[in-house]
Amino acid sequence: MLAPMAPKTSSRSPRWPAAPVLVRQVRNGVVESVHRGDIVEADAAGRPIHALGEMERLVNLRSAVKPFGLVALLRAGGRAEFDLTSEELAVMCSSHSGEDLHVRTIMALHRRAGVSAASLSCGADVTPIDPLTAARLSRDGERPSQLRHMCSGQHTAFLLLAKMGGWEPDTYWQEDHPAHEAFVDAVADCFGVRRTALVMGTDACGIATFAFPLREIAGAYAFLADPLAVPSVDPRSHVARHLLEVRDAMVAHPELVAGTRDRLDTSLMKAVPGHLVVKGGAEGFTGVGILPGAKGEGSTASGLALKIEDGAANDRGPWAATVEALAQVGVLGGQPLRMLARYHTPPAMDPRGAVVAEATADFELAPLGELAR
């Protein structure tokens, strides 16, 4: 049984120096506010390639842990047991917008697997992320169900694990439930650490999340980008084929990983198809797996981890900083960068639709190493 995840009275993090400014909000030439943060690009071994700020800053993954947690279901044999599709894998590691395509995908899986949405413990009191869907539900007098919650896909993976194991489905979120323990084990194995070394907390949807140094998260996302590239002596190699299934599903179905409107994860993966696997987390975190060839022919995989210090109550900080960082490391340019302009320099509009302010990335990553070619 895991130790209780009780609230801590003091921070586990050391007193780091102030994070550098990454993004400035500018109105008529006046800087109104700034967003500070830390960025690191690393290879799968955690060796830094580019960085700005503190590479060892301890950061909560929040929902960015979902691709790694899904490995628990796959290595238990869940894909064959439930005849899981690529679309279903994608939505089970998503923070989806609550659109109809997300709900239809999860409902179809529930029916085929014989699990009930009533067992979902992610909550039903959160309006769908997608504003058009939320407005339609409000207009029609429909209350959002658990299926509309952004984490319902991830929670469905727990229900499937419980179904396979013959375990109680309604308590999967408890720390000592076998499905929850399998999830924790999968995360530890994907990061190549002992379970007892995990720094754990409880996410907003009620299940575990984990904190790692930013550099280690970048390394894990590099592993996600090219799982089969790790050597056989690497302790993570035994989960590589399962993580490859997760990566391929996310890359193939970016709309199911996030949504069809104003979602950075989806838009980045669509701008450069087959080159990025992206998953954001709450409080201003973004994890990016940069696939082989994304920087040019012969380039190897890497991972980018970015944390906005203020938690990004609005999206402009992580949007602008992530796109700029990917441009600086050589992934984005030309037409893809133009396609992402609304994320690169997020505008603020007046009531008539005129741009009156913009968030602008203002930093330069330091080159710390080169990827082997």
Residue carrying the six token digits 């992934």: 331
pLDDT at 227: 98
Residue partners of 81: CB distance under 8 A and separation at least 6: 160, 164
pTM for the full model?
0.94
Question: What does the pLDDT read at residue 8?
Answer: 43
372: pLDDT strictly greater than 80: no
Over residues 61-70, the pLDDT tens digits come to 999 999 999 9
HSE on the CB side for 283, CA within 13 Å? 11
pLDDT of residue 60: 97
Q: What share of the chain has pLDDT > 90, as a percent?
A: 91
**pLDDT tens digit sequence for 227-249:** 999 999 999 999 999 999 999 99
**Gap between the Cα atoms of 181 and 189, Å rounded:** 12
Contact partners, residue 135, CB within 8 Å, separation at least 6: none
The residue behind tokens 């992206």 is: 278
pLDDT category of residue 17 using cuts at 50, 70 and 90: confident
pLDDT value at residue 12: 57
What pLDDT score was predicted for residue 313?
76
In sign, the C-alpha dihedral spanning 332, 333, 336, 338 is positive
Contacts of 173 (CB under 8 A, 6+ apart): 121, 155, 158, 180, 206, 207
Residue range 248-279, pLDDT digits in tens: 999 999 999 999 999 999 999 999 999 999 99
Residue of higher predicted confidence among 119 and 373: 119
Asked whether the beta carbons of 364 and 328 are under 8 A apart, the reply is yes
> Does residue 309 register a pLDDT over 50?
yes
pLDDT tens for residues 61-109?
999 999 999 999 999 999 999 999 999 999 999 999 999 999 999 999 9
Q: What is the CATH number of domain 21-367?
A: 3.40.710
Q: How far apart are CA 13 and CA 296, in angstroms?
A: 37
Pairwise CA distance, residues 281 & 278, whole Å: 10
pLDDT score recorded for residue 371 = 42
Rounded to whole angstroms, how far apart are CA atoms 161 and 109?
13
Q: Which two tokens stand for residue 365?
A: 């990553």
Comparing CA positions, the residue from 320, 258, 240 lying closest to residue 39 is 320
